Structure 1
Amino acid sequence: MNTRTLAAAIACLATVALVGCEPATTDPKPAAPATTEPATDAPAATPSEEAAEPAESKAVLNFVGMGLQSAQDKAQAEGFYLLTSHDSAGRDRLQALDRNWKVCFQNVKAGKTVATDTKLDFGAVKLEETCPANDAKAPEAAGDKMPNMVGKSVKAARGALDSGTSITATDAAEDRMVLMESNWQVCTQSPSAGAALNGQPVEFTAVKFEETCP
């Protein structure tokens, strides 16, 4: 063995000896367990809405003879907020300015006790008109048979028919145009009352309400 090889062997033995004398390595210190935040309570459930209180019950006042606006104001003051109105003359006119109308009929009899969420329906006519003997509401929607429209306003007659119906309205007395249909009453109709409706055109002749059919 030459000198270089011998020196290398001695160095190797010395390294082994040193390693063998070192204390055995210990396992690394275990990591501290991860701390977890304490479980928090789930957010409280949103409480459900409280059950609606039952509507109060009250005796309905007598609104007949009052102006429509005054009747509505009085009804609301009593807690009745579901209000509607209609033309008692059966002409299907809108109550555009309530102060120009007066109450002739009410759907709930005066003095009757009902819940305040009951809808009150006032039948009315214009101030200068006389209340009719009976509350003439707009005719119900026509089914498969032609209703009797004579005496009804042209507007009400039109509203009772299917929206796709072809309708012609002509003046029964003169050669005037039937423009404000709620001011015109039907004198004759075709098809006649009771006839089957199958999409055929409908014709009316009419005069103004203050006039008499020829």
Structure 2
Amino acid sequence: MSHSQQPFPEKSPGRPGWARKRVAVPAALLIFFVGVGVGSSGDGQDKTGADAKAGPRPTVTVTRTAAQPAEAADTVKDAEPAPDGDTKAAVPNFVGMGLQSAQDKAQAAGFSALTSHDALGRARMQVLDRNWKVCSQNIAAGKAASTGTELDFGAVKLEEDCPAEDQSEPAKAGGTMPDFRGKSVKAARAALDSGTSITVTDASGDDRFILVESNWRVCTQKPAVGAAVSGRPVEFAAVKFGESCP
């Protein structure tokens, strides 16, 4: 071999005269070394494996409330009120009061079963209680009564005078014609059988239309008082309350 054919080693930049050899490192081995380096770096607080299992466990505080519902139930049971039938209260005096105020006072005293009626016997409904006043009460003032007792107020409108005593509505007609004279047309109609044919005319002769029958009173009637009804048609001639029958 000639001198020109002898191989010359590669010059290493760091070490002149030495050949630099390249070594291929498998990728899997490289990853292993990187993982070890990362796991061992830091301030020593990161733990894995057995070290993590041996670390302190968090403390959990449990509050037991199973006994609370039973205690609440006992409290409710002890606080149950007595039945209404066993509770009594003195009945206040309602006469002269506005109907709405009387009802409020009755409820404040413990009475909740309340009703009212037209003290003039005209079968009017107390739609607006503030427009009515109390003339009578079914339970005397000061008497002790069960709070379940129904209180009934006899009432008239504010501009009307209370009667000396409540005027009752006419009783239900049987087989004979009752005396409806002076009674309201509405009360007379209610006393007759619901199937009865009834005609009402203006007794004044002005041929006025009779709209609110509780505002009109009977002057004459057919059949006459005591006559057999037996399904016969009934005729009333009436005028407004406050007017004189002709």
TM bin (shorter chain): 0.7 to 0.9
Q: Quick one: distance in 1 between partners of 2:179 and 2:84?
A: 46
CA change 1:105–1:129 in 2 (3 A) is same
Residues 56-65 or 136-145, more deviating: 136-145
Structure 1 match to 2:122: 91
Structure 1 match to 2:147: 116
Q: Quick one: distance in 2 between partners of 1:149 and 1:53?
A: 41
Q: Quick one: distance in 1 between partners of 2:146 and 2:241?
A: 39
Kindly provide the CA deviation profile for residues 73-96 of structure 1, in whole angstroms up to 9, marking residues without a partner as x: 100111111110011111111100
Give the conservation status (yes or no) of the 8 Å contact 2:84–2:146.
no
Kindly provide the CA deviation profile for residues 132-163 of structure 1, in whole angstroms up to 9, marking residues without a partner as x: 11201322221222111111100110011110
Structure 2 match to 1:141: 172
Give the conservation status (yes or no) of the 8 Å contact 1:172–1:207.
yes
Structure 2 match to 1:183: 215
Matched to 2:237, the amino acid is T
CA change 1:54–1:183 in 2 (3 A) is closer
- Are 2:221 and 1:199 equivalent residues in the alignment? no
Give the conservation status (yes or no) of the 8 Å contact 1:102–1:125.
yes
CA change 1:132–1:73 in 2 (3 A) is same
- Are 2:59 and 1:59 equivalent residues in the alignment? no
Give the conservation status (yes or no) of the 8 Å contact 1:86–1:137.
no
Give the conservation status (yes or no) of the 8 Å contact 1:165–1:202.
yes
1:109 alignment partner, SS class: coil
Q: Quick one: distance in 2 between partners of 1:140 and 1:119?
A: 22
- Are 2:191 and 1:156 equivalent residues in the alignment? no
CA change 1:54–1:118 in 2 (3 A) is closer
Structure 1 match to 2:203: 172
Q: What TM-score, normalized to structure 2?
A: 0.64
In our comparison, the structure showing a higher alpha carbon Rg is 2
Unaligned runs of 5+ in 1: 1-50
Matched to 1:149, the amino acid is F
1:54 alignment partner, SS class: helix
Q: How many residues align?
A: 165
Q: What TM-score, normalized to structure 1?
A: 0.74
Runs of 4+ in 1 over 6 A off after TM superposition: none
Q: Quick one: distance in 1 between partners of 2:83 and 2:103?
A: 25
Deviation at 1:53, TM superposition (A): 5.8
Give the conservation status (yes or no) of the 8 Å contact 1:92–1:137.
no
Unaligned runs of 5+ in 2: 1-81
Identity %: 68
Matched to 1:168, the amino acid is T
Q: Quick one: distance in 1 between partners of 2:85 and 2:140?
A: 22
Give the conservation status (yes or no) of the 8 Å contact 2:220–2:238.
yes
2:135 to 80, 101, 104: 104
Q: Quick one: distance in 2 between partners of 1:133 and 1:171?
A: 29
- Are 2:159 and 1:128 equivalent residues in the alignment? yes
CA change 1:170–1:77 in 2 (3 A) is same
Structure 2 match to 1:47: none
